[in-house]
Amino acid sequence: MTVVFDFDRTLTESDTVFRFYQEFSKNIVKLIILTVGMIFNKIGILTNATIKKIGVSFFLLGLPEKVVIEKGQKYFSKIRLREDIIARLEKHIADGDKVVVLSASYECYISGLRSRWNDVTVLGSKLATDKDGKVQGLSFNCYGENKLKALQGNGIQSVDILYTDGFADRAVMRISKEVIVVGKRGWHSIQLKARGA
């Protein structure tokens, strides 16, 4: 069985990207601009990709990738995971299911999941680097339809169970047999017939 978990607000208690940027700078002007951009994203004026590009250019551009990864792994240890959903992830691992964490968050920090569960496949947004290993931008934004591309690029054509916090994962819902929508107070299951199933 293939089981996919979203990360932010599914495995975690809140969004993690903004706080990740704060690990690199406390510049109030940049943080305010990014906050306004995130509000514009929520109301449909700016895309997720645009917000990520702003975040990378403000906080990560020109930094050695090694530094970003090191800070990312330290940051991961500060993230509050939802124990109720983590218990379900652990049960799927114990049952021998193929478990994938699929997120628009940056792979450089969500890969910290492997320190606790080394059998989990982690797929997230990726940073582009130059020949000297310095961050130059965003190479892959694992959001929307790109989440489906990430799964397919890893040989996954259908999903038995998808855990998600919302409809930003519609592309993955289309290939899922069951969707478990996670909210602040619990979850509920939706049985679907995946395309081609």
Asked whether the predicted pLDDT for residue 192 surpasses 70, the reply is no
Q: What is the mean pLDDT of residues 109-138?
A: 96
CA 179/CA 50 separation, integer angstroms: 28
Distance CA 170, CA 158 (A): 13
Q: Taking 80 as the threshold, does the pLDDT of residue 187 lie above it? A: no
For residues 138-149, give the mean pLDDT: 96
Residue count of the chain, please give it.
197
Residue 184 is classified by DSSP as T
- Rounded to a whole number of angstroms, the distance between the first and last alpha carbons of the chain is 14
CB 179 within 8 A of CB 164: yes
Specify the pLDDT at position 168: 84
User: What pLDDT, on a 0 to 100 scale, did the predictor assign at position 193?
Assistant: 57
Distance CA 127, CA 120 (A): 21
CA 132 to CA 184: how far, in whole Å? 43
Query: What are the DSSP calls for 80-108, one per residue?
Result: -B-HHHHHHHHHHHHTT-EEEEEEEEEHH
Residue-level pLDDT at 197: 47
Q: What is the pLDDT of residues 46-101, one digit of tens each?
A: 999 999 999 999 999 999 999 999 999 999 999 999 999 999 999 999 999 999 99
pTM of the model: 0.91
For residue 35, give the H/E element and its range. helix 28-42
Question: DSSP assignment of 59-83, as one string?
Answer: IITTSBHHHHHHHHHHHHTTS-B-H
Residue 185 has a pLDDT of 72
Closest CA to 129 of 120, 119, 139: 139
Per the model's pLDDT, the better-predicted residue between 51 and 189 turns out to be: 51
Residue spans per domain, the chain: 2-191
User: Across all residues in the chain, what is the average pLDDT?
Assistant: 93
Q: Which fold has domain 2-191?
A: Rossmann fold (3.40.50)
